[in-house]
Every structure is written in C-alpha cells, then in structure tokens.
Amino acid sequence: MNRFCQQLSRREMMVRAAKMVGGLMFSTSLAPLFAASEKRFKIGAGDWSLGKMGNTAALEVAKQIGLDGIQVSLGSLANNMHLRQADVQQQYKDAAKQNGVEISSLAIGELNNVPYKSDPRTIEWVSDCIDVMQALHVKVTLLAFFGKGNLKDDKGGMDEVVRRLKVVAPKAEKAGVVLGIESYLSADEHMDIIQRVGSPAVQVYYDVNNSIRQGYDIYKEIRQLGRQHICEFHMKEKGALLGQGLVDYSKVRKAIDDIGYTGWIQIEEAVPKGTTVQESYITNLKFLRNLFPINV
C-alpha cells in the first residue's frame, strides 16, 4: 500500500511537472498573440499622404496627429531607393524611438512610374525590400500597380508579374514577410495571381476606395479574399473625410470582423479641399478610433 502510494506520488509529481513545463511553453509560444490582442487594430498613414515621403519627419508628424505608426516608402528613383542603405534605416529607427511611433510597413510607390511588370530594375528593388523589412522588423510591403504599372486588362503584364513574384516569393517566405499587391484588379483577378504564384508571402493590399471606385462590392470582396489573402488595409477617400465619401466604413468594419482581421489599417488621402493634412488626419483618426477601438 505504501509502495503504491509512493509510486502514485512520484507519478503525480511527474504529471504535475510536465503540466507546468507544457503550460510555460504554451504561454510563451502564445505571448505574441496575447500582446497583439491587447491592441487589435493599429492606425497609421503613408508618409506620402502626410507630404513627407522619404523623410523621417513623417514620424514626428505622426506623433503630433496621434497615429500609432507610419508606412514608410522604400524610396524613389531619384534617391535610388535610399531605405536600402543601413544609415538611412538607422535614421528611421532613431526617429521612431524618439517620437514613440512605429514603422508599420513599407511601400514601393515608385512602381507606378517604373513598373514591376516591365522594368528590370524593379526586380532588385523588390528583392532588396525583403532585406529592409527584416532590418526594420516589419512584415508587409505594399507593391503599387497604378499609373504606368497598371495591371487591369493587361494579361501580359500580369503574366510577367506572376513570373517575377514566383522567383522572389521563396525569399519572402523564408524571411517571414509579405508582399502586398495594391491594384485596380478585382478580388477574382487578385486571387488568380495569388494562386498562380502559389505562395503565402504574396497577398492583397486592400484599398477600399480604389476598389469601390472600380465598381466592386468591397464588402463582399473583403470576405471573399479573407484574412488569409489580405495583408493590410488602406482606408481612403478622395476629397472627403473618412465616413463622408463613397465607403460605408461601418460595413467595412463588419466585413473585417467577419474575416477576423487584426493589425494595421492605414489612412490615405481623405483631405477635403480647404483643409490641411494635419487637421484632416486628426479628424480621420478620431473617426477610425471610434470605429476600431483599441481592444475590440
């Protein structure tokens, strides 16, 4: 009887020890998720929208407005995509720390003028951008497909973009980062590219205003693409404050809830005529904070 109790006691001790270790490992592995849940949505803006493209002063302006972060441009043709330089990266890190504002994600807007679908220089830009993301600890880069880079009704351009993305996607996967396509394409057309590339590192950067202006049912498209295929959102209006234009943002919020999205939402444009960027963005931020409370 005593021997059985001793064995049981040892067995209980082993089970309890295993549970303690397992519980510790479980809580440690989920720590980032719990941290993220404390602030389900973070609100930022593109540096170009604040009139500070390629300038660390964007982080100071973001602080004045009350934004959580800034979407930083990789650079331009004129400065040879300067964020690829270690000293420029350090300047942004210092500015972020000084102002208490995060670098939320990156963007290569110059692809509108120097198209990824045709210009060989852009192959290096996109590949190098992955290295920059790792250096700055960000997970998403927006690849722009407007202007000269427009993919709508351009099958050859889409085919070339797929070819190039298939080459760079494994590097992005290994780095744990995402390349987000922002374009005038429909959800079906975006899914065609994603499926052909065949990598979770290629997703959609969903701009609600761009899409609604193309005549798409954006509330349906958000649900169609889902959390698996949307890496980040632009909340935008043209010539109007958020909530006073084409987009029904309460319906956007419902769609976002339905797909379980958490993360960054970025304000873009949404500056009415006769107002300043800063005053408009303070109002836009207040609107989004009410619609997307920090913990809800």
List, in order of start, the domains of the chain with CATH numbers: 41-291 (3.20.20.150)
Under 8 Å between Cβ of 268 and 70? no
**Cα atoms in the 13 Å half-sphere on the side-chain side of 65:** 32
242: CB partners within 8 A, 6+ apart: 235, 236, 249, 267, 270, 284, 287, 288
| pLDDT value of residue 296 | 54
**Strand-pair category, 178-183 with 202-207:** parallel
Contacts with 92 (C-beta within 8 Å, 6 or more apart), sequence order: 56, 59, 72, 83, 103, 136
The whole-number pLDDT of residue 20 equals: 40
Per-residue pLDDT in tens (0 to 9) along the chain, 296 residues: 444 344 444 444 443 444 344 333 333 333 333 333 457 999 999 999 999 999 999 999 999 999 999 999 999 999 999 999 999 999 999 999 999 999 999 999 999 999 999 999 999 999 999 999 999 999 999 999 999 999 999 999 999 999 999 999 999 999 999 999 999 999 999 999 999 999 999 999 999 999 999 999 999 999 999 999 999 999 999 999 999 999 999 999 999 999 999 999 999 999 999 999 999 999 999 999 999 986 65
Residue 284: predicted pLDDT? 98
The pLDDT assigned to 175 comes to 98
Provide, for the chain, the percentages of residues in helix, strand and coil under a 3-state DSSP scheme, each rounded to the nearest 5: 55, 15, 30
Whole-number pLDDT of residue 293? 81
Q: What is the β-pairing status of strands 202-207 and 230-237? A: parallel
| Residue of 74, 158, 72 lying closest to 111 (CA atoms) | 74
Record the tokens describing residue 4, joined without a space.
């059985």
Q: What pLDDT score does 63 carry?
A: 98
| pLDDT at residue 19, as a whole number | 37
Q: Measured between alpha carbons, how far is 224 from 100 in angstroms, rounded to an integer? A: 36
Q: What whole-number distance in Å separates Cα of residue 234 and Cα of residue 105?
A: 12
